[in-house]
Amino acid sequence: MKPRVVILTEIIAPYRIPVFNALAQRDDVDPHVIFLSETDPSLRQWTIYREEIGFSYEVLPAWRRRIGKYNLLLNWGLSHALEKIHPNAVLCGGYSYVSSWIAAFWAQRHRVPLLLWSESTAGDMRGRRHTVEFLKSRFLQRCDGYVVAGKSSFSYLVTLGVPEQRIFTAPNAVDVDFFSRATRRSRNGSDARRKLSLPDRYFIYAGRLVTAKGIFELLEAYATLDSALRSEVGLVFVGDGQDKAELVARASRITPGLVRLMGFKQREELAAFYALSEAMILPTRSDPWGLVVNEAMACGLPIITTNVAGCAADLVENGWNGFIVPPNDVGALSSAMCCLATNAELRKRMSLRSAERIQAYSPQRWAAGLAQAVESSCTRVA
């Protein structure tokens, strides 16, 4: 009989549906996903693609309140749901929710292996908070296995004293085929650029418009480019966030320059913005992973990102398919942008390499890593 695993995670994010679908299609694990909420409207405007869901799931009743920068999410009915399913393993997507601790206590009481699905890295700003570190250490001690997104999160758990043999990699993934197909359609279309009001040439940033993502360093780096280059190559921001107004104000002072703020875009629209760009830039100051990099690479883009982005160690090879720069380093960021903007042959090589590398970061590979973690933990506890 296939082991039944409950996956406890926050919201029905579009990029999680493909990986959960891939897991449900395997013959060695039987997943049931419990979402703590359908979405978080205060942070995200994602469409919920219910028609694409091909796995067993439920959404718990919830009460949510955002207090400053903190997100309080309380649920009820989790213990009943676990009793009804009675899984062979429980995987928690984090430790910061009350429901994660309820699941941990339930697993301990029923002698069911508990796994932590962790994306945290040493560069994660949240790791500097004493309360977070205390909760993390206590939760880690309760776990029988650990599932990480990549090299940075693996190394981080090792530094916290987690045995390497209990850590399994399920690499963060998006629907690579979806973005590849969308790219071909956009590049083959004769008027996609005109319909989207995009410059002939541009770099793209996609994500929340908040200071922690390095958006102001990116704007400053663009402003330091040669004026002739700025007249030829634009900078497009796709997304929304609390610092949008300040970004608009600063962008208006860059002359010459082609800076466009396009607002939030759903998955289908976003692929076209990637496809018509020359490179993706994620200048983040702190990011557990950065799935926009996966998406952009699936669209065949060179990448410029920082060494604190969780995905950098796995997806980006400096000088091979992009550039890795220190966070807050406007000079290094500007140099990388200039290098790509002025070298069409380099862009072409890096584009092909990105498209090649991202093929290994598929929903199926994520599912294989998760299934291996469940099998190992169940065997060890038994």
* Whether the Cβ atoms of residue 3 and residue 88 lie closer than 8 Å to each other: yes
Contacts of 31 (CB under 8 A, 6+ apart): 4, 5, 6, 7, 20, 23, 24, 55, 56
How far apart are alpha carbons 140 and 133 in whole angstroms? 10
d(CA 149, CA 155) in angstroms, rounded, equals 11
Q: Which residues pair with 259 in a beta bridge?
A: 235
4-173+362-381 shares its CATH topology with 176-360: yes
- Phi–psi pair at 310, nearest 5 degrees: -60, -30
Domain ranges of the chain: 4-173+362-381, 176-360
Angle made by CA atoms 54, 92, 144, in degrees to the nearest 5: 120
d(CA 13, CA 331): 35
- For the chain, state the CA radius of gyration: 21
Is the full-model pTM beyond 0.85? yes
What per-residue confidence (pLDDT) applies to 335?
Answer: 98
The Cα-based distances of 365 to 6, 22, 118, 370 in angstroms read 19, 9, 17, 9
Question: pLDDT tens track of the chain, all 382 residues?
Answer: 899 999 999 999 999 999 999 999 999 999 999 999 998 877 777 889 999 999 999 999 999 887 766 678 899 999 999 999 999 999 999 898 999 999 999 999 999 999 999 999 988 765 556 777 888 889 999 999 999 999 999 999 999 999 999 999 999 999 999 999 999 998 887 688 888 889 999 999 999 999 999 999 999 999 999 999 999 999 999 999 999 999 999 999 999 999 999 999 999 899 999 999 999 999 999 999 999 999 999 999 999 999 999 999 999 999 999 999 999 999 999 999 999 999 999 999 999 999 999 999 999 999 999 999 999 998 877 6
User: Sign of torsion, CA 180 186 187 188?
Assistant: positive
For the domain 176-360, what is the CATH superfamily, name and number? Answer: Glycogen Phosphorylase B; (3.40.50.2000)
**Positive or negative: CA dihedral 302, 307, 313, 317:** positive
Phi, psi angles (nearest 5°) of residue 279: -165, 155
CB 365 within 8 A of CB 171: yes
Give residue 66's region: left, alpha or beta (phi > 0; psi -120 to 50): beta
Question: In 3D, which of 358, 282, 366 has the Cα closest to residue 327?
Answer: 282
Question: Which residues have a Cβ under 8 Å from the Cβ of 186 and sit 6 or more positions away?
Answer: 192, 271, 272, 275, 276
Distances (CA, A) of 133 to 68, 72, 127, 284: 20, 18, 6, 22
Q: What is the pLDDT of residue 342?
A: 97
d(CA 351, CA 362): 18
Q: Tell me the CA distances in angstroms from 209 to 43, 81, 245, one per residue in order.
A: 11, 37, 9
Q: Cα–Cα distance between 257 and 230 in angstroms, integer?
A: 5
Residue 323 corresponds to which tokens in the numbers above?
């550039």
Is 17 buried (19+), middle (13-18) or exposed (0-12) by CB count in 10 A? buried
Helix (H, G, I), strand (E, B) or coil at 90: strand
Instruction: Mention every residue, 6+ apart, whose C-beta is less than 8 A from residue 193.
Output: 200, 276
Rounded Cα–Cα distance for residues 7 and 20 (Å): 9
Q: Specify whether the CB–CB gap between 306 and 283 falls below 8 A.
A: yes
User: What fold does the segment set 4-173+362-381 form as a domain?
Assistant: Rossmann fold (3.40.50)
CA distance linking residue 283 with residue 309, whole number of Å: 8
